Amino acid sequence: MSIEQIRVGSDNFSYLIYDINTRKAALVDPGYDTTKAVDVLAEKKLELLYIINTHFHSDHTAANQQIKKAVPTAQVVASAIDGKKLNIPVDRIVSDSEILHIGEIMLTILVTPGHTSGGICIIVDNVALLTGDTLFIGDCGRTDLPGGNLKDMFNTLKEKILPLPDHLIVYPGHDYGEKPFDTLGNQKQSNKTLRAKTMEEFSRIP
């Protein structure tokens, strides 16, 4: 299993996940531009199965049409709620705990409301956790943008993210932290938003 972290624009990250044995791939969050992702697909002769949107915000989804045009057979994937707000028709709606396969790779979908009401995170093979704008290195996503909710974010972090194993590598949707990725274990120790014990404490984080 390989994950390529692709910087798009100033601080957005796209992720190309692929299985080199079967040459199947998925692109998570096209961002503004998929030129680099398309180059990697061609260079490694990969078949793109899925274009997965972690949430509907345009900085993650602007190039949906660009990649769909390049690979018309790839299915656009999103949650039911955020899928309704996407800039492109959704081919496959995913729910919490649903599993997608890319060759030998298993993707487990977690519906993680807070930044948007239908945002998702993706566990890749018990190795990595792609967090979109739910969790950044050192912080969590904003809850004051369209679709955001502070209480939902607190519950998502407590109930969905904290119970996950420490060895997962967190790959966020933006390069906002002191490093581009980190283990979830380190984040549980150092990320103020994961350390907040109560909603009251969480709401006071600047």
Both tokens of 148, joined, read 């955001």
Residue closer to Fe ion (CB basis): 102 or 130: 130
In whole angstroms, what separates CA 142 from the centre of its chain?
15
In whole angstroms, what separates CA 109 from the centre of its chain?
10
Only segment of 49-57, 77-85, 163-171, 183-191 that touches Fe ion (CB under 5 A): 49-57
Side-chain half-sphere CA neighbours of 115 within 13 A: 24
Beta-carbon contacts of residue 53 (< 8 Å; ≥ 6 apart): 29, 30, 60, 61, 64, 76, 77, 78, 82, 83, 86
Q: Does 57 bind Fe ion (CB under 5 A)?
A: yes
Q: Does 133 bind Fe ion (CB under 5 A)?
A: yes
- Specify which residues 102 forms β-bridges with: 105
Residue closer to Fe ion (CB basis): 19 or 133: 133
Only segment of 55-63, 73-81, 106-114, 120-128 that touches Fe ion (CB under 5 A): 55-63
Residue type for 125, please? D
Residue closer to Fe ion (CB basis): 57 or 68: 57
Question: Closest separation between CB of residue 189 and Fe ion, Å?
Answer: 25
Question: Closest separation between CB of residue 72 and Fe ion, Å?
Answer: 26
Question: Closest separation between CB of residue 29 and Fe ion, Å?
Answer: 9
Q: In the 8-state DSSP scheme, what is residue 168?
A: P
Only segment of 79-87, 96-104, 127-135, 182-190 that touches Fe ion (CB under 5 A): 127-135
Question: Closest separation between CB of residue 44 and Fe ion, Å?
Answer: 29
Q: How many residues bind Fe ion (CB under 5 A)?
A: 2
First and final CA of the chain: distance in angstroms? 37
Contact set with Fe ion (CB under 5 A): 57, 133
